[in-house]
């Protein structure tokens, strides 16, 4: 009788190191998975070094500058995807927000300073996100379908309002995306980093950020725990629309014009950026560091293809393959986690 407890203790002692090793391996795999995008970015950067002109200060600044508008949309998608949703309207909100800002100012508020157009554009993005959230949450319509309709509606409105584009914009309207410190370093890069810093605080240091992850992991459990699920989901859509509007303003300042195809066709790359950054399509998992690396990765790839003269049609196919790879990596990681569990 006394041998059984001793045998059990002995078995536990032998199993302890094995369990510890498995836990360390699991942790190592998780860390490697989360940092994979940084490895890919490093490899892409090393290849870029071999391309003439890539390492010039002007080019590197341009890479960072061009990544900020897209990064705003990816950041917005990140928030929505954490709750298990999708926002396909981002590229059209990105286009319509600055259009509404400049059109309303020119037609109705021309006596006011041009900065008022910035406020209108930001409010337009926020309002578009609020509309998406209210329809999908309050009317219980799938956010994929709601934002798909919004994608088409807002793009049609852009084409209706400015069929030929608007140029010679006032400096006060292009300031956010066009101003450079000492004529060299864009304000947009500083502003983009500031947005990510604020997002990091919201996600990691507030109850709202914890609620976002909780809803994405298990919406019913989050509701039982006392989280106001509808309010949180509507708020993330508002954040998404706000960030898309800001991204559109930065791009308008960068190119110095408001055009009808602003952001057109970019939603797939926004989705690829979020997925490459490790954000789960099912919700509840994602890190801002991964999203930042994915945004830089897409910007570096686009820049390298420009420098080596890749045709636009070929670029489209390359980015399609990147999206496919991102989706495969995401699904592979989710299957592995399911098996491990």
pLDDT band at 124 (very low <50, low <70, confident <90, very high): very high
pLDDT attached to residue 69:
96
Q: What is the pLDDT of residues 130-163, one digit of tens each?
A: 999 999 999 999 999 999 999 999 999 999 999 8
The predicted model gives 173-183 an average pLDDT of: 91
- What residue segments make up the domains of the chain, in order of their start? 35-340
Distances (CA, A) of 113 to 165, 179, 250, 252: 21, 17, 18, 18
On the question of pLDDT at 276 being above 70, the answer is yes
On the question of pLDDT at 26 being above 90, the answer is no
- Domain spanning 35-340: CATH 1.20.1050: no
Out of 100-109, 157-166, 325-334, which region has the weakest mean confidence (pLDDT)?
A: 325-334
% pLDDT > 90, the chain: 65
pLDDT attached to residue 236:
97
pLDDT attached to residue 30:
46
Q: What is the pLDDT of residues 68-90, one digit of tens each?
A: 999 999 999 999 999 999 999 99
pLDDT band at 115 (very low <50, low <70, confident <90, very high): confident
pLDDT attached to residue 316:
82
The predicted model gives 208-221 an average pLDDT of: 95
* The model's pTM: 0.88
Q: How far apart, in whole angstroms, are the C-alpha atoms of residue 296 and residue 291?
A: 9
């Amino acid at each position: 009788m006394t041998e059984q407890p001793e045998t059990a203790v002995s078995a536990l002692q032998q199993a302890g190191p094995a369990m510890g090793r498995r836990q360390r391996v699991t942790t190592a795999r998780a860390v490697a998975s989360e940092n994979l995008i940084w490895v890919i970015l490093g490899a892409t950067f090393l290849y870029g070094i071999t391309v003439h002109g890539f390492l010039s200060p002007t080019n590197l600044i341009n890479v960072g500058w061009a990544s900020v508008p897209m990064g705003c949309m990816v950041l917005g998608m990140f928030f929505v995807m954490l709750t298990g949703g999708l926002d396909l309207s981002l590229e059209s909100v990105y286009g319509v927000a600055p259009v509404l800002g400049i059109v309303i100012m020119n037609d109705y508020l021309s006596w006011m300073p041009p900065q008022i157009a910035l406020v209108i554009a930001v409010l337009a993005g926020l309002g578009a996100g609020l509309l998406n959230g209210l329809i999908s949450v309050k009317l219980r319509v799938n956010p994929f379908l709601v934002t798909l309709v919004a994608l088409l509606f807002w793009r049609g409105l852009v084409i209706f309002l400015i069929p030929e584009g608007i140029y010679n914009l006032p400096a006060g309207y292009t300031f956010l995306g066009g101003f450079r410190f000492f004529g060299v370093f864009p304000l947009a890069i500083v502003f983009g980093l500031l947005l990510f810093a604020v997002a990091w605080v919201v996600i990691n240091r507030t109850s709202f950020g914890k609620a976002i992850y909780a809803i994405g992991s298990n919406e019913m459990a989050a509701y039982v725990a006392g989280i106001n699920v509808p309010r949180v989901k509507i708020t993330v859509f508002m954040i998404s629309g706000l960030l898309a509007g800001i991204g559109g303003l930065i791009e308008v300042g960068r190119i110095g014009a408001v055009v009808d195809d602003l952001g057109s066709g970019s939603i797939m790359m926004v989705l690829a950026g979020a997925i490459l950054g490790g954000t789960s399509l099912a919700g509840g998992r994602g890190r801002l560091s991964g999203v930042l690396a994915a945004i830089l990765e897409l910007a570096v790839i686009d820049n390298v293809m420009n420098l080596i003269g890749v045709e636009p049609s070929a670029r489209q196919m390359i980015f399609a393959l990147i999206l496919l790879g991102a989706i495969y990596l995401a699904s592979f990681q989710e299957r592995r986690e399911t098996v491990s569990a």
